[in-house]
Amino acid sequence: MTYLAKPKFHHPSLPKNEIGFTRRDYEASTSTLCAGCGHDSISASIIEACFELSIEPHRVAKISGIGCSSKTPDYFLGASHGFNSVHGRMPSVLTGANLANRELIYLGVSGDGDSASIGFGQFAHSVRRAVNMTYIVENNGVYGLTKGQFSATADRGSKSKKGALNSDSSIDLVAIALQLGATFVARSFSGDKGQLVPLIKAAIAHKGAAFIDVISPCIAFNNHAGSTKSLDYVREHNEAVNALDIMVGRDPITVNYAPGKVAAVTQHDGSVLNLRKLNDEYDPHDRLAAMNFLQRHAAQGQIVTGLLYVEADADDLHSNLDTVETPLNQLDTAALCPGASALDKINASLR
């Protein structure tokens, strides 16, 4: 068999969330990725985020492309419908799915090969269309599944495992997402669960195109000296701009941080993001400043992480198309078919 089922045993004392689910309810089959793969840490963060948000797993549609990262939807939210599409084309499938039923939560999982090369166009267009989704790129700068070729996010001058130097410029998906108008843009590190989990939670709560680039070192092919996507490099060059927590708020919100240092962002679903500035010059509401900040730090070899930009009251594709609240996949013949009398009138107009 090529499918590894996870034992269904639940320890009776596992903590439960508001809707009575344990973390195990958000898990799925056993990962077939390499031991220590950063992608598995991201899966764990997704599981944690969904558990903490008390999301019903079956209300999530998890959609991916092809590659190591795109395999991961098999390893979380086993009670969700998953969709492993074709290479680089996850965004179009997700867009279509979202059009059909606006009520589900759409989780797009992709890799740097998937999104920055073959699927660069689809990535860009799904973002500019403001599809309501959480788009996560598990970014390791390398083609893992085909054994170590550079991807388009590999930095110029970085070294492959075999010692080859990358002579091409890299694509910074965060910078691109900002430029394209994404209304939630973040970067994180697979090894920083404390930062990543609230980011995923906030992205899920966000209405509109939410993009998270997660640097996720490839244990097998890109975790060596000279790589700018290795565990050590990312740890040493991580520049976090803020720390955040998210409260799925129905109760009054209390802010614990010192005045002037905290920004509370209420999202469309009522949840509140508390953003604590780590960097005094950083403003997550200023798209242009975010782009500038990002580029300046990139030039210094720093990897800026955190919530880089957010527009809390953003619109999404459905708002722009002004579609009905009822999901399109629930409309029946009576709602959709104009009927024989309308056709008779059309016939009459064509004579």
Contacts with another protein, residue ranges (CB under 8 A): 1-3, 56-59, 61, 63, 73-74, 78-86, 89, 91-101, 103-104, 121-122, 124-125, 129, 318, 321-325, 328-333, 335-340, 342-343, 346-347, 350-351
CB of 173 to another protein, least distance (A): 17
Backbone angle region of 33, left / alpha / beta, with phi > 0 → left and psi within -120 to 50 → alpha: beta
- 260-275 residues labelled b (16+ CB within 10 A) or e (exposed): eebbebebeeebbbbb
**Tokens 């941080």 belong to which residue?**
257
Smallest distance, Å, CB 190 to another protein? 23
CA–CA dist 174, 178 (Å, integer):
6
Q: Which is nearer to another protein, 164 or 331 (CB)?
A: 331
Task: Tell me which residue of 312, 269, 285, 287 sits closest to 53, measured CA to CA.
Answer: 269
Q: How far is the CB of 129 from another protein (least distance, A)?
A: 7
Q: Which of 41, 56, 204 is nearest to 134 (CA)?
A: 204
Residue placing its CB nearer to another protein in the complex, 21 or 150: 21
C-beta of 127 vs 240, nearer to another protein: 127
Q: Which is nearer to another protein, 85 or 271 (CB)?
A: 85
Q: Minimum CB separation from another protein for residue 310, in Å?
A: 25
Q: Report the residue number, 133 or 178, with the smaller CB distance to another protein.
A: 133
Which tokens is 197 given?
Answer: 């989990």
Rg from Cα positions in the chain: 21
**Least CB distance to another protein at residue 66 (A):** 8
CA distance 209 to 181: 8
- Sheet of 242-247: strand order equals 242-247, 272-277, 262-266
Sign, CA dihedral 115-266-202-16, equals negative
Q: Which residues neighbour 213 within 8 Å (Cβ) at sequence distance 6 or greater? A: 137, 139, 173, 174, 177, 186, 187, 188
Which is nearer to another protein, 300 or 347 (by Cβ)? Answer: 347
Distance CA 92, CA 300 (A): 35
Residue 74 is classified by DSSP as: G
- Min. distance of Cβ 40 from another protein in angstroms? 17
Considering only the C-alpha atoms of the chain, give the largest distance between any 2 of them, rounded to a whole number of Å: 77
Residue number, 266 or 319, with CB nearest to another protein:
319
What minimum distance in Å lies between the beta carbon of 167 and another protein? 29
Kindly state the smallest distance separating residue 350's Cβ from another protein, in Å: 4
Residue 164 or 342 having the CB closest to another protein = 342
